[in-house]
Amino acid sequence: MHVFRIRYRNTQGTLMRILNAASRRALDMPYVKAEPAEHLHELTLLLDVTLKQMGQLCRDWHAVVDVVDVRSGLPLKDAAMVEPSWARAGEGQRAATRAETASA
């Protein structure tokens, strides 16, 4: 799991275009937080992605007109020290994956 921080101008449809880039790839989003940050807005996403998917997402997000900055951050095990709720979100995702694997 990786943390992504995306700064964007809050114009009509920008947030949905950002989120659609992840949902098109059928990625679960266990943690999503959008909030104002000075004159812009900031979206924090927690996603379980491969390096290839990370590159594709960053490319897609940079292509959105009102996106100002895209940053990818710490894997979940390191990020849990920063924000405890991220650890709970990631644990729920891992439990769901184990349940799907066991039932298959």
- CA quadruple 50, 16, 18, 86: dihedral positive or negative? negative
| pLDDT tens profile 58-90 | 999 999 999 999 999 876 555 555 566 655 655
For the chain, how long is the longest CA-to-CA vector?
48
Question: What's the CATH code of the domain at 11?
Answer: 3.30.70.260
Q: Half-sphere exposure (CA, 13 Å, Cβ side) for 81?
A: 5
Q: Half-sphere exposure (CA, 13 Å, Cβ side) for 41?
A: 14
pTM score of the predicted model: 0.70
> What's the chain's average pLDDT?
82
Domain that holds residue 30: 2-103
Number of domains, the chain: 1
Within the chain, how many helices (H) and strands (E) appear? 4, 4
| pLDDT tens profile 7-37 | 999 999 999 999 999 999 999 998 899 999 8
Secondary structure (3-state) at 103 = helix
